[in-house]
Amino acid sequence: MLSRDEITRYSRNILLPEVRKSGQEKLKSSSVLVVGAGGIGSPVLTYLAASGIGRIRCVDSDHLDLTNLQRQVLYRTGGVGSPKIDLAREQIHSLNPNLELDFRMERFSDKNAKDLVTGMDLVIETSDNFPTKFLVSDVCVENRIDYIAGGILRFDGQVLCVRPGQSACYRCIFENMPEEGSVPNCAAAGVIGAVAGVIGSIMAGEAVKILLGRDESFGLLQQYNLLESRFRSLRITRRSECTCGRKSLPK
């Protein structure tokens, strides 16, 4: 049930026929894990919290660095040197004190992955490295939890929404992990900060849609290029020999 204060706070959501009070109650009873509180994680966490997602879990193990401030809009200059997860928790709690926040200074690894995704309705992967991206995909496929993967580099960004067993997973597109150093990351090749904002905002919007029960985004790879001012959506089919097919069970 929503309090009077919550009905006011979320009134612009509730006005939408696709949301209404029942949809807002669904968002309140939803739980989301956000992997990473960086450039993409900043807008994701902000919009999830502002939208009233009732339970948000987040993991990040870094300390705030001066180079982060160019795109990680959750943070302020005075926070440089502090654990990002503490700064993020404070910021998100002050935005919306109604939420249950479970923010942990941990790195998403094969040791804690299963524990972190258990009980979550949705996982949002915002990391900047391939081992984490593949691990999130594999653990979500194994546990049949919907997830959204996002990536940015230079002027480009992409988003993939996955319903394991039904739509293409990360491994359906990228079969094996690229060799270390063969694909540049943002630290080596750069990125425009606003591209992180665009991609994170798309991911948060997709999360709200999925939690409201809509499934039209699964199987689409959404791509954005700032230099060409272009958005496109590609329909991705599952690779029949992918592990997500082998592990697929009727839901």
**Site for Zn ion, rule CB under 5 A:** 169, 171-172, 242, 244
Minimal CA–CA distance to 92: which of 112, 115, 119, 73? 73
Question: Distance of CA 29 to CAs 111, 208, 233, Å?
Answer: 27, 12, 30
Identify the residue whose tokens are 């029949």: 240
**CB of residue 215 vs Zn ion: minimum separation in angstroms?**
17
Q: Which is nearer to Zn ion, 134 or 224 (CB)?
A: 134
Q: Which is nearer to Zn ion, 172 or 203 (CB)?
A: 172
- Structure tokens of 189? 């090749």
Burial class (CB in 10 A: 0-12, 13-18, 19+), 213: exposed
User: Residue 140 carries which side chain, given as an amino acid letter?
Assistant: C
Q: Which is nearer to Zn ion, 124 or 172 (CB)?
A: 172
Q: Is 119 helix (H, G, I), strand (E, B) or coil?
A: coil
Q: Which is nearer to Zn ion, 58 or 117 (CB)?
A: 117
Q: Which is nearer to Zn ion, 172 or 211 (CB)?
A: 172
The span from the CA of 76 to the CA of 113, in Å, is 29
> Buried (b) or exposed (e) across 226-246, using 16+ Cβ within 10 A?
eeeeeeeeeebebeeebbbee
